[in-house]
Structure 1
């Protein structure tokens, strides 16, 4: 077990980030079934929709309909991703979103592709979204996209990400997320950036969002948690990708992250058997085998809580 760490909060992003880049439109009813299944598996915080231009992201055109069908749960935090004030207004108007998730992008080229604004402009927009959330009685958080590398400009310097985090922290988000949008990060890079932000902003909650494009996603999760990160994004089945980031493959898989952390003595609050069953159901909806590994592997040994010995499961 990682010293001093007994649990990690998981944010389920499959209903939003997991589906947003899929070409075939997923029915609203199937999105809601995915949300219901995630809740039954123990998820208590999840991205349910993004309030963006439906012409740019057709898969999210039913954001309001999804929100209308959300189960009423006092113990679940529903997150709506928004890029600007207009998106924030739409999310707030549903009356079903608990938290606004803003996005800032670490490079100008990607920010223009993703949000049609500069990197600094995306910081200003995120600060406005956080203020709007507070005024509406909601919470607001922000993710720094392309924090570990950009599909257009390549390497992203730590100093740039630190400067963005400091500017965003002034707006009072409940959390700052670091996203490896195109899956180029490695554990050494994660340790360095997370360590610096924790020193600069010791009281700010941090979340990480990794893509497994180059197979480093799980290692990056473990490293981030070892550095004190308290919250991890993941997507059931490992689905995901960004329409505006060439080559961005799926998110780290919820089942794979849960398996790794739980086997390492770190509680997630999620039921692996239920997640694996949801993986099978979602594969049927998508019409293909999903990228996650644990659901495709034989059942592994399980560790006995009483003896610490390995037993065949």
Structure 2
């Protein structure tokens, strides 16, 4: 009986120890997904690990691409070593003053001509190369009296000239610049080009007539020769004999043939503008304006141009995703 009494407390304490140990093991078993306790075999413990939820149940992760910084239209800075492109239109007005014309002939008048064109500005490190295609008209605006240079002031040395010549040119301006303001550059350089000339050049001899419709610088009046027999004076200014080296009578609105046909009308002409100066204005990234003045073979000129910048367009084409 005594041995039986001693075993009962031992058995009870053993049962309590087993239950406490089992309870502690359950509390310390990891419950996180996909995690096992070191040295624990789920099959031996009889417990089943929790399965990971299907991928469709997991929240999708979306990463937005980095946003591009907003473009500042007022950022006119041009990086060194980078080429910038602009395309636009130009206008030039050329003044041929009478005093400049009198270097080659006497008489005449001041003539104004117009030039229109399209241009491409390729700019890098403060230097602009500007190829262009232009159209120029060389009209005299009617008949103009000219006296051959170095010849006596007699009727047979005067002629009426009426030009409706035009030119189609391929040009290039080479302009260097100096920054004078954030938005303004002072430019200087040269312009060269070659043009094809077309249109008509009319020459008409004249004879002296008191009530003639044209008055020369000498105060005398002249009338155009319609035939070689129009001049009744002793000069006979309308005949070929009164004009040296003339094999054709330039009467009745005679139209000059071109150089290739032995006449005085040019087929081609050179454009040379040396020097030319100007101001380049860039108020915003995408726009450039120019004011230009200079001297060319045909006289003094001034010019205006407006160009659209292609910087953003080219950057979009070369931008990598």
User: Which TM-score bucket, shorter chain as reference?
Assistant: under 0.3
Q: Which has the higher contact order (CA 8 A, sep 6+)?
A: 1
CA radius of gyration, larger in: 2
TM-score, scaled relative to structure 2: 0.19
**Structure 1 length as normaliser, TM-score?**
0.20
Report which of the two has the higher share of strand.
2
Higher helix proportion: 1
